[in-house]
Amino acid sequence: MTPYDDAPSQVTSRPALIDGFGRTVTYLRVSVTDRCDLRCVYCMAEHMTFLPKAEVLTLEELDRLATGFIKLGVRKLRITGGEPLVRKGVMGLIENLSRHLKSGALDELTLTTNGTRLTEFASDLAKFGVRRINVSMDTLKPDLFRKLTRGGDLAKVIAGIDSALAAGIAVKVNAVALKDDNAAELPDLIAWAHARGADMTLIEAMPLGEIEVDRTDQFLSLKDVRRELESFWTLTDSDHVTGGPARYVTVEETGGRLGFITPLSHNFCEACNRVRLTCTGTLHTCLGREDASDLRAVIRGGADEAGLEDAIRLAVDAKPEGHDFQIVRASAPAVARHMSTTGG
- The pLDDT score that the predictor gives to residue 321 is 82
1: confidence class by pLDDT, cuts 50, 70, 90: very low
More confidently predicted of 176 and 286: 176
Residue 1 annotated in ligand binding? no
- The pLDDT score that the predictor gives to residue 343 is 56
- The pLDDT score that the predictor gives to residue 330 is 43
Mean pLDDT along residues 255-277: 82
- The pLDDT score that the predictor gives to residue 325 is 47
C-alpha of 3 from chain center: 26
Cα separation, 29 vs 111, whole angstroms: 9
- The pLDDT score that the predictor gives to residue 286 is 86
Cα separation, 56 vs 222, whole angstroms: 36
Residue 272 annotated in ligand binding? yes
Residue 234 annotated in ligand binding? no
Q: Which CATH architecture is the domain 27-342 placed in? A: Alpha-Beta Barrel (3.20)
Residue 14 annotated in ligand binding? no
The predicted-structure confidence for 102-132, as pLDDT tens digits, reads as follows: 999 999 999 999 999 999 999 999 999 999 9
Least confident of 37-41, 232-236, 253-257: 37-41
- The pLDDT score that the predictor gives to residue 287 is 74
- The pLDDT score that the predictor gives to residue 243 is 76
CA distances to 199, 204, 222, 234 from 256, rounded to whole Å, are: 6, 20, 18, 11
C-alpha of 93 from chain center: 17
Residue 82 annotated in ligand binding? yes
The predicted-structure confidence for 299-339, as pLDDT tens digits, reads as follows: 999 999 999 999 999 999 999 886 554 444 444 444 454 45
Q: How are beta strands 76-80 and 108-113 bridged, if at all?
A: parallel
- What's the chain's average pLDDT? 88
Give which of 324, 97, 117, 337 is closest to 209, Cα–Cα. 337
176: confidence class by pLDDT, cuts 50, 70, 90: very high
Residue 279 annotated in ligand binding? no
Residue 173 annotated in ligand binding? no
Domain boundaries, the chain: 27-342
The predicted-structure confidence for 19-61, as pLDDT tens digits, reads as follows: 998 999 999 999 999 999 999 888 877 888 889 999 999 999 9
The predicted-structure confidence for 139-160, as pLDDT tens digits, reads as follows: 999 999 999 999 999 999 999 9
Strand, helix or coil at 4? coil
Residue 269 annotated in ligand binding? yes
pLDDT-above-70 percentage for the chain: 84
Residue 99 annotated in ligand binding? no
- The pLDDT score that the predictor gives to residue 197 is 97
Residue 137 annotated in ligand binding? no
Residue 103 annotated in ligand binding? no
- Residue type for 318, please? A
Residue 136 annotated in ligand binding? yes
Mean pLDDT along residues 224-249: 93
Where would I find the beta strands (DSSP E) of 8-127? 27-31, 76-80, 108-113
Alpha-helix runs per DSSP H in 167-265: 186-195, 222-229
- The pLDDT score that the predictor gives to residue 44 is 78
Helix H or strand E encompassing 57: none
State phi, psi for 70 to the nearest 5 degrees.
-60, -40
